Amino acid sequence: MKVLGKTLVVTGAGGGIGRELVLTLLSEGARVAAVDINKDALEETIIQAGKNSERLSTHIVNLTEREEVEALPGKVIEYHKEIDGIINNAGIIQPFVNINDLDYEKIKLVMDINFYGTLYMTKTFLPYLLKRPEGHITNVSSMGGFLPVPGQSIYGASKAAVKLMTEGLHAELKDTNVKVTVVFPGGVNTNIMGNSGVDRNKNKDHNQQQASKLLTPKEAAAIIINGIENDEYRVLAGKDSKLLDKFYRFSPKRAAELIAKKMK
């Protein structure tokens, strides 16, 4: 689906990949409904959109609350008149601890935002997309959704759920006007750790060194939008995601052992 002249809803639009998705879509002539729970972050997205903000609406929504999500299509249609696609990008990671040490409250929050938030958005907007000449659903999973990362097992489980749900949705909608894409970003230099409440100061120098090697949010957004415009089934964003996808297919156990070793 070409994005020019289309209206797309983007979650997690207050920063990182989400904000860059909004800005890039606007620069390519799309109309955008930007969704985030953080009002100040959305206001910064408006500022960065500049003159393109006339095609931008912002919506403060808690994706874990189904009623708030179900009220969203009416607000988007009121502003933009129509909805052609959604990009479910919002997500958080967990503290870097093993399952045995992770409390249920944090487990529930990760699953509620990453999986149920994506599910609520998908089920809520799909009936509207089916009425359009063409529509598109893009769900952002993660490299951690196909490859286990010690200390991020629940995050990985939530993203694996997004992966399989999206692949199943693709099969269910194959004879309709709605195309479906699942995205697997590798390492991207975003503030997901801070937004997830994870301590960023630990090993600060090492983290800064690693960040310089990562995909930028702008680069990741460009890859995702290219995938949408080409109706791709799956998008691997980043060299690490592409490489580890092949390695994991070849030898799941060896790939998992490699990641476990690196995590130490």
Q: Which two tokens stand for residue 189?
A: 């230099």
Residue type, 264: K
Question: Which of 104, 155, 233, 248 is labelled catalytic?
Answer: 155
What b/e sequence results for 180-219 when a residue is b if at least 16 CB atoms lie within 10 Å of its CB, and e otherwise?
A: bbbbbbbbbbbebbebbeeeeeeeeeeeeeeeeebbebeb
What b/e sequence results for 8-47 when a residue is b if at least 16 CB atoms lie within 10 Å of its CB, and e otherwise?
A: bbbbbbbbbbbbbbbbbbbebebbbbbbbbeeebbeebee
CB-facing half-sphere around the CA of 105: CA atoms within 13 A? 0
User: Is 155 among the residues known to form the active site?
Assistant: yes
Annotated catalytic residues are 155
